[in-house]
A and B are shown apart, each in its own frame.
Chain A
Amino acid sequence: MGRSAYVIRRLLQAVPVVFAILILNFLLLHLAPGDAAQVLAGEAGSATPEYMAQLRQRFGLDRSLAVQLVLYVKQMLALDLGFSFRHSMPVLDLILARLGPTLLLMLTTLGLSVSAGIMLGLLAAARVGCWQDTLISVLALVSYATPLFWVGLMLIVVLSVKLDWLPTSGMETVDAFYEGWARVLDIGRHLVLPALSLSLFYLALYVRLMRAAVLEQAAMDYVTTARAKGLNEIRITLAHVMRNAVLPVVTVAGVQVGGLLGGSVVVESVFAWPGLGLLAFQSLFARDFNLLLGIFFLSACVVVVLNLAVDVVHTLLDPRIRP
């Protein structure tokens, strides 16, 4: 079976997950105080009575729960996520406009934490028992226990307020009207702090995983064989041990994608990064539950897609995993 068949099979497996997310959303909608139309319309009073009546009719709120569920799923699958009165915009447009910055932040964080985690973990394992190992392990232990939002605030205090090196908030200097590379550089400067704060926890996780995996692999027979063949240590580590030790890190990185999205709510609201997380934070205050549910639904879908991507990367990395 080829790789494309594998991708198709995995896509099919994602279908029930998306359905389950929809059902969960539906249940949450019904848990909220008031009837679903009130929740869907956002803040009380901001929707017209005609719109409320229209909503009640469209979602069949006078019918049985099962009928309501079917209507709701139909609606959501047509990607009609409703309307946000707070922003006077359809929820879907609102979310799509904010998806870019969040993906930029997430992918930067993912790349940063995985690559730095692999390198530091490798270094710690290569120098096991030395001061480098102790230093890296202690730092990992501390980062592992630090709340994301607090790291962000403390980085702001040190790097922005005291040293004035980096901007504290936003994604770009809007009033500077930068274009081309100047704009890219500007966004990059704004990206440093949020990406760093979000990376730290995952970096710590990957360092620990990588260190343990390298130590485990280094004791395997194939390493002895490679050594007996007369390969030098650097080649053994980079070409043999590392390829195997990276696998658990990639697996966990895939599982953590959902967590990363959750973390971005906190980090984005600290740095006013204009992504989905900040939107979620704002809709919390506006009590715009429908928008919040839409964000949850779409970000769950993003996670499903990213998980799929990680699985495909996995088959590329490890030929033993037959697609």
Chain B
Amino acid sequence: MKRFARRFARSRAGVLGVIVLATVVALAASAPLLFPGSPFRAVDRPFTPPLGPHLLGTDVLGRDVAAGLAHGARTSLSIGLLATSIAVVLGTIIGGLAGYYGGWIDDLLMRTTEFFQTIPTFLFAILLVAILAPSVKSIVLAIAIVNWPTVARLVRGEFLALRVREFVQSCIGLGMPDRRVIFRHILPNCLSPIIVTGSLSVATAILIESALSFLGLGDPNVMSWGFMIAAGRTFLRTAWWLCAIPGTAILLTVLAINLVGEGLNDALNPRLYISQRGEGGTEKRVRTLPA
């Protein structure tokens, strides 16, 4: 653990990412203490500029922008984490089965994965949320469905490579049950690329969530950054900061997560190739850039 921390600390960008991310997490965690009550409630006249009586001013309905930002951080982070966990579990199961068993199982599962990478996934997410009615549950589900194929392909690749290694072959030769081989011997060996991909896909999840809530598909009961931008959009000419502030929050959070992800990658697998993040996921595996 200590060695890992030291290796991680070598990447300055990664450390910067951790600091920014920790700030966002702290803001999200303390939102109910710093800004008690609903972030949807009006606290003052509309359009008070930033650095007035309210730190970041108020919006069109007199809602406190800073309160929205803090509560929005909770929404973005929790939806991002939840959706990614589901995507990682689903992707690991599917990719693992395909990579371990091969044959027709592999064919079937991989054609399905490719299918989900071909269709315009964001459009699919929009449809799913619109049809199931916007709620945290449907948004998490939609994002998870968009994100799992990347994980599945990565895990399949790892399983394929590990499957033929001597230690796995000897386990199989000893007559160990498949479940034990998979969970005790193969899976632990591909945890680090899964962690790296997972951390990067939290960033994708946050971007998708913000785009959905910008389009008016956010959960109407929770504050979110995309919603704040959509609400401020009409007043771009007179009060551009209403859009600029939450957008900067998204940008910083996503950037921080990406930096942490790359730092993790460098620390966990110094010589390993990982799959580059992309909205649809990518077939070509490329080395992440040296920090």
Contacts and interface: CB of A to CB of B under 8 A. Distances in A.
Contacts of B278: 205, 252, 255-256, 259
A259 B243 contact: no
Interface stretch (A84-92, A137-145, A187-195): A137-145
Chain A interface residue bracket vs B: 35 or more
- Which 4 pairs of residues, A with B, have the shortest CB-CB distance? A262-B122, A259-B279, A150-B247, A145-B255
A213 B254 CA distance: 25
5 contacts: A212-B287, A252-B276, A259-B121, A280-B126, A284-B216
A269 B211 CA distance: 11
A212 B262 CA distance: 14
B236 A296 contact: no
Given A31-B128, A145-B207, A255-B280, 20 more contacts: A20-B115, A33-B133, A142-B251, A145-B203, A145-B258, A147-B207, A147-B254, A149-B214, A157-B236, A161-B240, A212-B287, A212-B288, A216-B287, A256-B279, A258-B119, A259-B120, A269-B215, A270-B233, A292-B126, A299-B123
B281 interface: yes
Nearest to A133: B289
Interface of A: 16-17, 20-21, 24, 28, 31-33, 137, 141-142, 144-150, 153-154, 156-157, 161, 205, 208-209, 211-213, 216, 248, 251-252, 255-256, 258-259, 261-263, 265-266, 269-270, 280-281, 284-285, 287, 289, 292-293, 295-296, 299-300, 303-304, 307
A259 to B, nearest CB: 4
Contact of B255 (A24, A142, A281, A292): A142
A304 to B, nearest CB: 7
A21 B117 CA distance: 12
B280 A258 contact: yes
B258 A141 contact: yes
Query: For the complex, would chain A's binding face be called helix, strand, loop or mixed by DSSP majority?
Result: helix
A208 B111 CA distance: 28
Contact of A208 (B203, B215, B289): B289
A128 to B, nearest CB: 9
Contacts, number: 169
Contact of A141 (B216, B255, B283): B255
B117 A255 contact: yes
A156 B132 CA distance: 33
Given A209-B286, A259-B280, A266 B118 contact: no
Nearest to A156: B236
Given A147-B211, A252-B278, A259-B280, A161 B236 contact: yes
Interface in B260-291: 276, 278-284, 286-289
Nearest to A251: B284
A303 B120 contact: yes
B197 interface: no
Given A256-B279, A266-B215, A150 B119 contact: no
